[in-house]
Structure 1
Amino acid sequence: MLLFDLDNTLFPFRQYWEEANRTTFTSSPLTNGLSYDAFLPLLKMFDEELWPLHVKEAITLNELRVERFIRTMHALGRSVNKEQSQHYFEAFMENLLSSITMDEELRDFLDKLQQSYTLAILTNGKEKEQWRKIIQLNLTSVIPFEHIFISEDIGYDKPDPRAFQHVLKTLNVEARSATYIGDSWTHDIQGSIGVGMNAIWITPRQASSINENLHLSRTIYDIEPCLFHLNRTTTIT
């Protein structure tokens, strides 16, 4: 089985995120007259500051999203309340989700893979948001509905071992016969290897094999040599 991450693995989420941020910033009256070049680094900085609190479950994802905008605006000399921040985020998310379109190259590549492997997705995130991405990318045309797992729905976020184990148990696949493919070292690679799976790390680093169970690939479209090497040392279903 090939188990895929979604954001920044099957599609360039960062690119969509950047474009939606600029669109929302440009069109919102809350940010009128401000510099986007000053706004974006601050937004990212406060996101990084707040993220550890979310990981520790001290704040929810919604609270993080609201608070990072409030802090960013305060740093730029403007005051916004939680309701305004929530509306700003909702506009941003709609801009992001509505811009996602089907990628024929991705669909054809996955269609080729599914002729030899069982395909599935395990992604962190909110169920409604992640499903909209999946549907707009038309991924259900090559990956069955019942092979798609979203953290909010199953109750566990990667890298919690229970997230990976839930997928393996549900699909009746042994860990050694499964390969996780993702871009996050902590959430995707360490998490999957920790439960005994193989892994392919999507990273701009020089592509190579770190050991017999872990390989590096620059993009999703470069994983076939990794799969060839993994198939020589294990059986991927």
Structure 2
Amino acid sequence: MKEAARMNGKTAVCFDVNQTLVQQGLSFEQSFRGVWQDYTARWLQEQTPSQETLWAAYITRWQQRKKARTTFKQLDELQQQCLREALLELGVPISTGLARSFMEELRRQQVGAKTLMPRTPEILEKLSQTHRLAIISNSPRSEVLLMLGRFGLTGYFPEERIFTASRPAEKKPASSLFRSALQALGVPPRQAVMVGNSWKHDVCGAVKAGMDAVWLNPGVHPTAAGARTVSEQRLGKRRVVLIRELGQLTDLFP
């Protein structure tokens, strides 16, 4: 690897979770529909909204609430509220406890369908010897904690180094999560790097906060030099290194 591609002088590495450390098995919509089907399996069919009807009502509520940036609800609470409102709109009474258990089951199904990216524990173990590691994720905190626990990664990411949005306006690519992470880690932006699969959320968000980034993009076409080629570009004043698989990450750090 060219020396220029290495991330020298970094003391902290921040990671996205979904499609970066773990591979997604079920989308939120797939899990939502599946949980609703399980919940209503013993109900009289004519008394319950279909999966399509409930999903349409839920996502409409979610988009409305998401745009209302005055809300300070946790994302978990916001999802539960949208579910309750959607069901009430469709004439189905639902308790706060049922809405909470619905979303908890949805989260369990999503996490249960995920798998680790190849070599993830090996990579984190090596990096943890020389760098402080953190999570910066748009996923609800409860989901992140479930994933890290399921895959045995909590030792690399103590709770005080897990940064998730408490409201929609804080989600990446907004710089607030990145700045919170930098402050908690006690490092200036140029000593930290963000690793993620989303150009918009991870790369652009990190650059806005003054950080360099590593963009994990398995879909990029390999060059004549081979599929494992690492490339680099500039985004403003910051560096963005492109990798095709997570295993290439350890080659970037001395």
Quote the offset at 1:213 in angstroms.
0.5
1:45-96 CA-to-partner distances (Å, cap 9, x unmatched) read: 964883474154256544445536976998xxx7534546655334322333
Equivalent residue runs for 1:100-111 within 5 Å:
105-111=119-125
Provide closer, same or farther for how the CA distance between residues 41 and 209 of structure 1 changes in structure 2, counting only shifts above 3 A: farther
1:113-146 CA-to-partner distances (Å, cap 9, x unmatched) read: 2234332212234433322222222212234444
Q: Does 1:217 align with 2:231?
A: no
Quote the offset at 1:169 in angstroms.
2.0
Quote the Cα distance in structure 1 between the aligned partners of 2:182 and 2:220. Answer: 30
One of 192, 210, 215 as aligned partner of 1:201? 215
- Equivalent residue of 2:136, what SS? strand
**Aligned AA (2:38):** S
Quote the offset at 1:17 in angstroms.
4.6
One of 7, 25, 29 as aligned partner of 2:18? 7
**Aligned AA (2:202):** D
One of 99, 110, 133 as aligned partner of 1:96? 110
- Equivalent residue of 1:213, what SS? strand
TM-score by length of 2: 0.64
Provide closer, same or farther for how the CA distance between residues 18 and 199 of structure 1 changes in structure 2, counting only shifts above 3 A: same
- Equivalent residue of 1:80, what SS? coil
TM-score by length of 1: 0.68
Quote the Cα distance in structure 2 between the aligned partners of 1:45 and 1:201. Answer: 35
- Equivalent residue of 1:169, what SS? helix
Provide closer, same or farther for how the CA distance between residues 107 and 55 of structure 1 changes in structure 2, counting only shifts above 3 A: farther
Quote the Cα distance in structure 1 between the aligned partners of 2:18 and 2:86. Answer: 26
Q: Does 1:134 align with 2:148?
A: yes
Contact 1:181 1:188 (8 Å CA) reproduced: yes
Partner of 1:24: 35
Provide closer, same or farther for how the CA distance between residues 104 and 180 of structure 1 changes in structure 2, counting only shifts above 3 A: closer
User: Is the helix fraction higher in 1 or 2?
Assistant: 1
One of 161, 186, 189 as aligned partner of 1:147? 161
Quote the Cα distance in structure 1 between the aligned partners of 2:14 and 2:173. Answer: 14
Q: 5+ unaligned residues in a row in structure 1: which ranges?
A: 232-237
Q: 5+ unaligned residues in a row in structure 2: which ranges?
A: 1-11, 222-230
1:135-183 CA-to-partner distances (Å, cap 9, x unmatched) read: 2222122344443333339x95433323212221222212112110122
Contact 1:176 1:197 (8 Å CA) reproduced: yes
Partner of 2:226: none
Quote the Cα distance in structure 1 between the aligned partners of 2:78 and 2:184. Answer: 32
Identity %: 23
Provide closer, same or farther for how the CA distance between residues 65 and 221 of structure 1 changes in structure 2, counting only shifts above 3 A: farther
Partner of 2:66: 54
Aligned length: 221
Partner of 2:82: 67
- Equivalent residue of 2:154, what SS? helix
1:19-53 CA-to-partner distances (Å, cap 9, x unmatched) read: 7446424422169769xxx9479848964883474
**Aligned AA (2:246):** I
Quote the offset at 1:198 in angstroms.
0.4
Provide closer, same or farther for how the CA distance between residues 82 and 9 of structure 1 changes in structure 2, counting only shifts above 3 A: farther
Contact 2:133 2:157 (8 Å CA) reproduced: yes
